[in-house]
């Protein structure tokens, strides 16, 4: 009696598998918490803020290396990058973990109606210019079971040199220490300063987020103080 | 008579050998630094299960202990345990082993 009831529970809509599938259907992809992961692990991440959307797929052949592809879409721009990330340092403490990582990426970007396209081709009157794109970024994160902090800086280089600078600072707090199989809830404050080549000044986005983390799925939802809706997810698979 | 005794003894030794193959050899408790979330726990559990030399893997984030039972006939020494957990990205502090 009890046995069959237990089996039914595992197949119920609340079983971990069903939740994972549900999250997977909501977004074709999924999430995780550390930048470079277990050997043979694959992470699928999505970042959405306002009109910006980014999709990233990273595979780790070794625990210290991540190889990935990222697709960025902005209102006037699309970019595709191949990315290699290395875990340069990892600190393991009784209740705390910290990581320093470096990423190098190369790819292409397509910008609509950019000024530099005018001089080039006469056939492309719409001015859709494609150019090589390079990026480097360095990051640090540190977390225990109640506090999470992350710092990152990235620079993009395009045809005319430096095309974008972006920083990220995140501080998160969990109201309780979750067990392995429990849902973890975090409140996160994110500060995102950014400067593109066509901007004279830095823009700042400050976004409070709620992070839900369950098994191999991570979901973050928030709205910036300037009203941009933010939605991030990360799913992680490994053998 | 002597022959029968020898046969009975060797039969017991043989059966004992077979049974020990199915029993658990050791209960192992590994103190690990750097485990902070369910994702860490999942990854370590998966890596250990992949060896097919252990069962009943459990990760206690509160006590920072990874525990499991080794399978008899499948040697899984401290050096191998340390290597596996270190390669997964974590630090082994102590390994305790009790025979079952
Ligand atoms: Cu973790």
Number of H helices, E strands in chain A: 3, 12
Residues of A whose CB is below 8 A from B89: 38, 63, 87, 90, 92
Between CA B38 and CA B46 the distance in angstroms is 12
pLDDT over threshold 60, residue B20: no
User: Residue A16: its pLDDT value, please?
Assistant: 42
Min CA distance, B70 vs chain A (Å)? 20
Q: Does an H or E element contain B29, and which?
A: strand B24-33
| Architecture per CATH, B24-99 | 2-Layer Sandwich (3.30)
What is the per-residue pLDDT for A163?
86
Q: How far apart are the CA of A36 and the centre of ligand 1, in A? A: 11
The CATH code of the domain at A3-116+129-238 is 2.40.160.40
The residues near A12 (Cβ < 8 Å, ≥ 6 apart) are A18
| Interface pTM, i.e. ipTM | 0.75
Q: pLDDT higher for A59 or A180?
A: A59
Query: Distance (Å) from the C-alpha of residue B69 to the closest C-alpha of chain A?
Result: 19
| Average pLDDT value for residue range B81-95 | 94
pLDDT at A20: 36
Contact A46, A56 (CB under 8 A): yes
Is B82 a residue whose pLDDT tops 90?
A: yes
How far off is chain A from B100, nearest CA to CA, in Å? 27
If one compares A20 and A179, the residue with the highest pLDDT of the two is A179
Q: Where are the domains of chain B?
A: 24-99
Determine how many CB atoms are found less than 10 A away from the CB of residue B60.
15
Q: Residue A10: in which H helix or E strand, if any?
A: helix A2-11
- Specify the range with the lowest mean pLDDT, choosing from A115-129, A135-149, A152-166, B14-28: A115-129
pLDDT, one tens digit per residue, over A150-204 is 999 999 998 878 889 999 999 999 999 988 888 999 999 999 999 988 888 999 9
CA of residue B36 to ligand 1 center, whole Å: 5
A positions 96-115 inside 8 Å of B (CB): 96-97
Contact criterion met (CB below 8 Å) for A110 and A130: yes
Q: What is the pTM of this model?
A: 0.76
Instruction: Give residue B1's pLDDT band: very low, low, confident or very high (50, 70, 90).
Output: low
Q: Which residues of A touch B36 (CB under 8 A)?
A: 95-97, 143-145
Contact A72, A81 (CB under 8 A): yes
In angstroms, the CA B38 to CA B31 distance is 16
**Which chain A residue shows the shortest CA-CA distance from B59?**
A180
Tell me how many residue pairs between chain A and chain B have CB atoms under 8 A apart.
74
In chain B, what's the furthest Cα-to-Cα distance?
65
């Amino acid at each position: 009696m009890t046995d069959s009831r237990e089996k039914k529970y595992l197949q119920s809509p609340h079983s971990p598998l069903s939740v994972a599938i549900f999250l997977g259907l909501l977004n074709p992809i999924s999430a995780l918490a550390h930048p470079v992961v277990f050997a043979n692990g694959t992470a699928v991440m999505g970042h959405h803020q306002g009109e910006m959307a980014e999709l990233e797929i990273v595979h780790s052949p070794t625990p210290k290396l991540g190889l990935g592809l990222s697709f960025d879409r902005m209102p006037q721009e699309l970019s595709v990058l191949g990315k290699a990330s290395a875990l340069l340092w990892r600190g393991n403490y009784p209740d705390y973990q910290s990581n320093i990582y470096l990423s190098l990426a190369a790819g292409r970007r397509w910008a609509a109606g950019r000024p530099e396209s005018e001089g080039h081709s006469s056939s492309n009157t719409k001015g859709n210019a494609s150019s090589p794109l390079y990026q480097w970024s360095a990051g640090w994160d540190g977390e225990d079971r109640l506090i999470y902090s992350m710092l990152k800086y990235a620079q993009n280089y395009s045809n005319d040199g430096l095309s974008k600078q972006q920083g990220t600072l995140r501080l998160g707090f969990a109201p309780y220490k979750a067990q392995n199989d429990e849902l973890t809830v975090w409140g996160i404050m994110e500060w995102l300063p950014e400067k593109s080549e066509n901007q004279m000044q830095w823009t700042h986005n400050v976004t409070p987020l709620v992070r839900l983390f369950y098994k191999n799925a991570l979901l973050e939802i928030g709205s910036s103080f300037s009203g941009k809706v933010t939605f991030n997810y990360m799913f992680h698979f490994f053998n | 008579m002597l022959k029968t005794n020898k046969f009975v003894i060797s039969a017991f030794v043989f059966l004992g050998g077979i049974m020990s193959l199915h029993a658990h050899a050791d209960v192992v408790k590994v103190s690990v630094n750097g485990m902070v979330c369910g994702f860490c726990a999942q990854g370590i559990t998966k890596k250990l299960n992949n060896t097919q030399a252990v069962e009943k893997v459990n990760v206690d984030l509160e006590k920072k202990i990874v525990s499991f039972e080794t399978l008899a006939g499948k040697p899984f020494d401290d050096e191998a345990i340390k290597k596996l957990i270190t390669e997964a990205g974590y630090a082994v502090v102590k390994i305790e082993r009790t025979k079952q």
